[in-house]
Amino acid sequence: MLVRIDQDKCCGAGSCVLAAPDVFDQRDEDGIVVLLDARPPAELHQAVQDAAAVCPAAAITLEQV
């Protein structure tokens, strides 16, 4: 799995960090998403899919590789 984020679209809700804290973080100054792990291990895939699904700004896209 390859995770991509779009920082221009991110609205800073932090939903992704709540869903998958090992993969996503937020910049403190504006809450914009920071990608910690673009190729997360298999045990985190479900959490990452949840994060992409709940992202209100559709700023997370996943690619199967």
Residues 42, 6: Cα–Cα separation, whole Å: 22
User: Which one, of 52, 57, 54, lies nearest residue 31 by Cα?
Assistant: 57
Residues 37-56 that bind another protein (CB under 8 A): 53-56
Residue closer to another protein, measured from CB, 26 or 35:
26
SS3 percent helix, strand, coil of the chain, rounded to 5, is 30, 20, 50
Residue closer to another protein, measured from CB, 10 or 40:
10
| Residue 36 in the binding site for another protein (CB under 8 A) | no
Smallest separation, CB 35 to another protein (Å): 15
